[in-house]
Amino acid sequence: MINFHKVSCTFGSPDAGVKNISLNIGDDDFLFLVGPNGSGKSTLLRLIYMDCFPDSGIVKIKNFRSNKIRQKDIPKLRRNIGMIFQDFRLLPDRDVYQNVAISLYISHYKAGQIKKAVHEKINQLNLGHRVHYKPEQLSGGEKQMVAIARALIKDPIVILADEPTGDLDPRSSIEIIDELYKINQNNRAVIVATHDYDLVKRVPDAQIVSLKDGEITSII
Ligand SMILES: Nc1ncnc2c1ncn2[C@@H]1O[C@H](COP(=O)(O)OP(=O)(O)OP(=O)(O)O)[C@@H](O)[C@H]1O
Ligand SMILES: [Mg+2]
C-alpha cells in the first residue's frame, strides 16, 4: 500500500533527511521506525504525509505518487492518513469532544453523524468521563488518547505516530502502544517512530526498520 522506491530527501544538505530508501508497507503491517536523533524517522513520516517531497525516487501511497500529485489532491491523500504527534497538538480552548470532532466539522458532516462517530471513538478509547474536559485538565496519557481518537475519526487506512509516547510514563506508554496494536488488529497499517525499544518488544510480529544517518541499516 505504501511504497518507497530509492527515495532521497535531503533538504539541500548532504547530511540531512533520508537517502536511498526502498521500503514496502502492507495494508495490515505494524512497523516501527527506530534510530537515534536525526536519523530520519520524522522525515520518512513526513514523506508519507507528503509534507515534504523526494529530491529523487518516488513515494507511492495507494494511487497517490509523490512525483505526480497536484497540490489540490494532497488533502485527498491525507484523508487516508491519521497522524499522531508527540506533542499531541490539541486545540487548547476546545474540549475533548470538539477536538475529536474537528475534522468532521471541517468536512461538513451532519450533526447527528458527528455525534455518533465522536461518542463511539471517545468510548472506545475510554475517555467517556473526560468528554467535556479541556486539554489542560487532562494527563499526558489522556491527551495522547484524544489525539488517537482524533486521528481515527475518519477511519484512515494508515496511522502514523511520531514518538507518540515520548513524554509519557511507562504505564501510559504501554496503554498507547496497546491501543495502536488494537487498531492494527482491525486491519489498519500503523507506523510508529520511536526511541523506546521496550515498546518495540510489546508488539508481536512488528517489522522494525532501523535508520542511521538517513539510511536504512536493517529491516527485521
Ligand atoms: N526541513 C529541514 N531542513 C534541513 N534539515 C532538516 C530538515 N528536517 C530535518 N532535517 C535534518 O534531517 C535529519 C533527520 O531529521 P529527522 O527529523 O527526520 O530525524 P529523526 O530521526 O526524526 O530525529 P529525532 O529522533 O530527533 O526526532 C536531521 O539531521 C535534521 O537536522
Ligand atoms: Mg523525529
Output the CA–CA distances (angstroms, integers) from residue 110 to 77, 104, 116, in the order listed: 22, 9, 10
Grid coordinates given for 200: 518495540
Predicted confidence (pLDDT) per residue in 176-193, tens digit: 999 999 999 999 999 999
Question: Of all residues in the chain, what percent carry a pLDDT higher than 70?
Answer: 100
Residue ranges around ligand 1 (CB below 6 Å): 11, 13, 16-17, 35, 37-43
C-alpha cell at 120: 463511539
Nearest CA to ligand 1 atom 2: 11
Asked if 71 and 50 touch (Cβ cutoff 8 Å), the reply is no
Q: What is the pLDDT of residues 50-77, one digit of tens each?
A: 999 999 999 999 999 999 999 999 999 9
Q: Tell me the CA–centroid distance for residue 202 and ligand 2, in Å.
A: 21
The single-letter DSSP state of residue 75 is: H
Residue type, 85: F
Question: For a substitution probing ligand 1, which of 8, 13, 42 has the most ligand atoms within 8 Å of its CB?
Answer: 42
